[in-house]
């Protein structure tokens, strides 16, 4: 069982993202997990679940904050398309969570955490059925169909659990202080 932690956009925008993703019949990412901004990747989030209490403590001392979603960008050689986002508080809580979970330096590098963290909301990936050309088209359509990009308040974070390979469901929501 794997876990990761994310921030969920408002329901209306989340549904808009899902409708957008479904326009590409080969895009299976909406079957993997709901739209979210990754806050903490799988590294260090073990099956013994002792880390959850540490996450709860971090969250209880962290006030609600805002995130501004922004223009589409790519990771890699146009392998992953995402909406960028801007929030220094998101980066701060990411670093606090990484510190309490304390994954190895190798895991931090593998999962692009700490100083390599890039806040993002994935729209599509080659790994989940799209071609590079489709991702380029998707990026253009995102600027037409998803604007204006919203700013929203984050008052909880969500832990996701992998129920079966490449399918993550909500495990637990944790409120911010």
pTM over the 0.85 mark: yes
Torsion over CA: 170, 175, 7, 95 (sign): negative
The owner of tokens 């808009």 is 16
Q: Which residue in 36, 26, 33 sits closest to 2, CA to CA?
A: 33
- What proportion of the chain, given as a percentage, has pLDDT over 90? 87
pLDDT tens readout for residues 42-85: 999 999 999 999 999 999 999 999 999 999 999 988 899 999 99
Which residue segments constitute the domains of the chain, with CATH numbers given? 3-175 (3.90.1140.10)
pLDDT tens readout for residues 2-18: 999 999 999 999 999 99
Of the pLDDT bands very low, low, confident and very high (cuts 50, 70, 90), residue 146 is very high
Torsion over CA: 54, 57, 63, 64 (sign): positive
């Amino acid at each position: 069982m794997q876990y990761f932690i994310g921030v969920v956009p408002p329901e209306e925008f989340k549904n808009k993202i899902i409708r957008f993703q479904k326009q590409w019949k080969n895009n299976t990412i909406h079957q993997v997990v709901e739209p979210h901004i990754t806050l903490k990747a799988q590294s260090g989030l073990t099956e013994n679940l002792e880390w959850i209490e540490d996450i709860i403590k971090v969250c209880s001392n962290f006030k609600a904050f805002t995130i501004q979603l922004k223009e589409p960008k790519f990771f890699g050689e146009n392998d992953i398309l995402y909406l960028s986002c801007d929030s220094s508080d998101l980066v701060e809580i990411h670093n606090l969570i990484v510190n309490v979970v304390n994954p190895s330096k190798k895991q931090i590098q593998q999962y692009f955490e700490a100083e390599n963290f890039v806040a993002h909301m994935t729209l599509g990936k080659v790994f989940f059925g799209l071609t590079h050309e489709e991702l380029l088209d998707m990026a253009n359509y995102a600027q037409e169909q998803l604007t204006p990009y919203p700013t929203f308040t984050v008052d909880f974070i969500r832990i996701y659990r992998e129920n079966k390979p490449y399918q993550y469901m909500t495990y637990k929501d944790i409120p911010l202080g």
